[in-house]
Chains A and B, each alone.
Chain A
Amino acid sequence: MNEEPGDENQPPSFEERLKAARGRQGLDAPSSTSARDSGGADGMSPWGIGLRVGIELVSALVVAVAIGWGLGYLFGGKPIFIAVFVLLGGTAGILNVWRLFAPRPTRDRGR
């Protein structure tokens, strides 16, 4: 996890192992963020990524259409709500996909 470059042959020192163990137990803040943080999108098969992107795109649209249809139903069948919310939902879907693949900046864990 957090070993110095250069001394590959040396076994990790006690300090390093202690630090790693403390990080695992949550006693220290972990010093390195793992690939899991991005939601597991790295290391997935192309099928997995495709399914994931599809679901993210469609789910935002489904929610938006449901809200738009519901508002239109409440306010006497006006189609303007569903028209607006389809656009918003599509944008939210794109935003979801962007969040999935965007390189995450360094976390501010102190907040």
Chain B
Amino acid sequence: MAAGGIDALGQFQLHPALGPIGASVNFTQSNLMMVVAGVLTFGLLWLGMRPRAMVPGRLQSAAEMAYETVLGMCTETIGPEGRAYFPFVFTLFFFILFGNLLGVFPYFFTFTSHIAVTLALTVFVVGLVTFVAIRIHGLHFFSYFVPQGVPAVLLPLLVPIEILSYVSRLISLSVRLFANMMAGHVMLDVFGAFVIMLGGAGIIFWLPAGFSLAVNVALIGFELLVATLQAYVFAVLTCIYLHDAVHLH
């Protein structure tokens, strides 16, 4: 991104955090943000639920709402068996949600903007879904790849397609989260650079510079929406895959 002097991708570079200790174990600012996201989730629930009030305060309401939203997502999408997978979906949803939201703050880092992170999460999800399906259905799981009511002649063609469709979840789930987060932050960076460059170019350019600043303000709001929506989509798709694993077809 040398053209125009806008370095829109430099923000995604990893640097060691926590001084020489972090540098010696390759503890980057991405890892630091993951720890912060985990601590914030834990803090929300622990501090929120400490009063145990019958009429909840603000923080307790937030914690209860978080719990009930994800529980509703699990039981409505997966079915009554969904309660068993609630802890997993809850952890996943809040890890991604806090990761996305932390990235909106200046000087913070969005760890979900790295495909290595989202692909690792997705490999874990698809691995767990496959494990659950085999655990529940045994070898009957492989009938998932055989469509019903199809002539046997077509099966050698259709079974590979079904398997590819199953495996492509790995890419579609991870790329969706990664692409959304990265694209948003690149746009923020580009318009931020416009503000500086146009603002320094003389008084005639102050109007377009102000316009770029206004776009950036709108983009921050849009980023908040995307951050929440993508965490939700990731969790809902995990629930749908779990539903398929529990019920097969």
> Which of A's residues lie within 8 Å of B, judged by CB?
23-30, 33-34, 36-37, 39-40, 51-52, 55-56, 58-60, 62-64, 67, 85, 88-89, 91-93, 95-96, 99, 107-109, 111
| In contact, B168 and A39 (Cβ under 8 angstroms) | no
Residues of B within 8 A of A60 (CB): 164-165, 168, 171-172
List 5 contacting pairs A-B, 8 Å CB cutoff, sorted by A: A24-B72, A30-B75, A51-B176, A62-B171, A95-B165
* Count of CB-CB pairs between chains A and B under 8 Å: 96
| In contact, A55 and B233 (Cβ under 8 angstroms) | no
Known A-B contacts: A26-B80, A40-B233, A59-B169. Give 8 more (CB < 8 A).
A26-B71, A33-B76, A55-B171, A56-B172, A88-B161, A89-B168, A108-B247, A108-B249
| In contact, B236 and A40 (Cβ under 8 angstroms) | yes
Tell me the complex Cα distance, A111–B244, Å: 11
Tell me the complex Cα distance, A52–B180, Å: 11
- B114 close to chain A: CB less than 8 A: no
| In contact, A96 and B172 (Cβ under 8 angstroms) | yes
- B73 close to chain A: CB less than 8 A: yes
Question: Which residue of B68, B72, B164, B171 has the most chain A CB atoms within 10 A of its CB atom?
Answer: B164
| In contact, A88 and B164 (Cβ under 8 angstroms) | yes
Residue of A nearest to B232 (CB): A40
| In contact, A29 and B79 (Cβ under 8 angstroms) | yes
Tell me the complex Cα distance, A67–B232, Å: 30
Residues of A within 8 A of B56 (CB): none
Q: A30-B75, A55-B175 are in contact. Are A95 and B161 (CB under 8 A)?
A: yes
